[in-house]
Amino acid sequence: MPLTLLLDLDDTLLNTNMHVFMPAYFQALTAHVSGHIPPDEFMRALVGGVNRMNDNEDPRLTLREVFESHFYPRLGASKDDLQEIFDDFYEHAFPQLAFHTAPIAGAVEFVNWAEAAGFQIAIATDPLFPLIATQHRLRWAGFDPERFKLVSAFEEFHFTKNHPAYYAEVLGALGWQEGGVVMAGNDLYRDIFPAQRLGLKTFLVEDQPVSPSEEATSAGSLADLRRWLETSEPSALEPLYASRDAIWAILLSTPAVFPRFLHPLTDGECRCAPKHNDWAMNEIASHLRDTEREVHILQADLMLKKDDVFIPRPDTTVWASERNYLNEDAAEAIDEFTAARLTLLEKVKDASDEIWRRNVRHAIFGPSNFTEVMGFIADHDRLHLQQAWQTAQMCLGKRV
């Protein structure tokens, strides 16, 4: 399977110098709206909205929704009053900030090489900006935004890069493809450590020779990154989603990811399976909902009560036909799955390390433990998100 390469943008592919760029950006935005909003009030609302985006852990809310739920009430204004002004800023004023940046030498050549090598490339930039702003920055770096499999932005993403769930959301949106995954970026605390907590291999992009911390396994320039990728064994780059942090990130990200596969589809397409005996989107969504409600929550309750309990695992594959999942509504089913998943997470969020090590007896896998069973739930998520991604791609391909 091809390697999935997650690339940071600012100071990885584009020389941005955020200590210069961000004040210039805020100043330009404040000036653009100054005829409508007092500058001090605007900055307080803006900074407060950004802080709430960084803190968000609710998979039901996009970062845009989180930001706007604070920003507009703080200003005492409605979105309708100001949206046209912001649209004009990002269309006409934001591009003028390009002179604060510069392309990084060798970045275009590196991406060209990675594409030729067959890598799946996503731009894993912090999704604090609207998509139009990130597209501008990609062009400043010398790239057509359309060439990438995914570009993260605040309209669709639910977590920022200080959360491992952000990286799980990226990989989920890409369909949890098999094979190696590498995150490359210049920031230890937003690019490297959170990605490692998910179980990903990482590369610290740094032009100057550095002595990276023990956690940052490799470091150097983009040229060094290319040599590292060329000489690494593919199996050595495969993720390991076995830690408590990784499992939690996957479980939290799944309700955030699934709706993006549904949004482009019609009701008829949600009833369409790729081939005979495959599940349609309605069936996948309903299966996730009922398994969460009737299996996973029960398993968690049993494991939380005491050590060495027996963990049942009924055959849920027959439910699709028995319960007529094909005629369910996928969007409604995912809303109900999300409610059940949040219940599960609430139950286990305060479980001690001792509980996460607790031994159990699993109906299928035999002797196991709390962490491993929670990992089985995360694996179940990844399997069905991969299935949902493939189903959505088939439906959209047929439409074309």
pTM of the model: 0.95
pLDDT (mean) for 146-153: 97
pLDDT (mean) for 207-231: 78
C-alpha angle 262-266-269 in degrees, rounded to nearest 5: 85
Q: What is the pLDDT of residues 151-188, one digit of tens each?
A: 999 999 999 999 999 999 999 999 999 999 999 999 99
| CATH value of 257-399 in 3.40.50.800, 3.90.1150.10, 3.10.20.30, 1.20.120.450 | 1.20.120.450
Q: Is 335 helix (H, G, I), strand (E, B) or coil?
A: helix
Distance CA 74, CA 273 (A): 46
Neighbour count for residue 169 (Cβ, 10 Å): 26
**Whole-number Cα distances in Å, 333 to 128, 254, 345:** 29, 13, 18
**DSSP at 10:** B
- The radius of gyration of the chain from alpha carbons, rounded to an integer in Å, stands at 22
pLDDT (mean) for 120-140: 97
Q: How far is CA 143 from the centre of its chain?
A: 22
pLDDT band for 245, please (50, 70, 90 cuts).
very high
pLDDT (mean) for 354-368: 95
In the prediction, which pLDDT does 77 show? 87
pLDDT band for 399, please (50, 70, 90 cuts).
low
pLDDT band for 214, please (50, 70, 90 cuts).
very low
Place of tokens 């409605």: 78
Cα-Cα end-to-end distance for the chain: 26
Question: 360 φ, ψ to 5°?
Answer: -145, 170
| DSSP count for the chain of H helices, then E strands | 16, 11
The CATH number given to 4-14+101-237 is: 3.40.50.1000
Percent of the chain predicted with pLDDT > 70: 97
In the prediction, which pLDDT does 48 show? 96
pLDDT (mean) for 299-305: 96
Contact assessment for residue 184 and residue 12, using Cβ atoms and an 8 Å cutoff: yes
Q: What is the pLDDT of residues 41-70, one digit of tens each?
A: 999 999 999 999 999 999 999 999 999 999
Report helix, strand and coil shares of the chain as percent, to nearest 5. 60, 10, 30
In the prediction, which pLDDT does 209 show? 54
Neighbour count for residue 369 (Cβ, 10 Å): 18
Q: Is 347 helix (H, G, I), strand (E, B) or coil?
A: helix
Residues 6+ apart with CB under 8 A from 105: none
Q: What is the pLDDT of residues 71-97, one digit of tens each?
A: 999 999 889 989 999 999 999 999 999
In the prediction, which pLDDT does 113 show? 98
C-alpha angle 291-352-362 in degrees, rounded to nearest 5: 40
For residue 76, give both structure tokens: 């005492």
Residue 397 in this model has a pLDDT that exceeds 90: no
For residue 288, which of 175, 395, 378, 393 has the smallest C-alpha distance?
378
pLDDT band for 277, please (50, 70, 90 cuts).
confident
For residue 166, which of 285, 76, 250, 239 has the smallest C-alpha distance?
250
For residue 18, which of 155, 164, 129, 159 has the smallest C-alpha distance?
129
Residue 216 in this model has a pLDDT that exceeds 80: no
Distance CA 262, CA 226 (A): 36
Q: What is the pairing mode between strands 120-123 and 150-151?
A: parallel
- Domain ranges in the chain are 4-14+101-237, 17-100, 257-399
pLDDT (mean) for 278-300: 96
Q: What is the pLDDT of residues 10-29, one digit of tens each?
A: 999 999 988 899 999 999 99
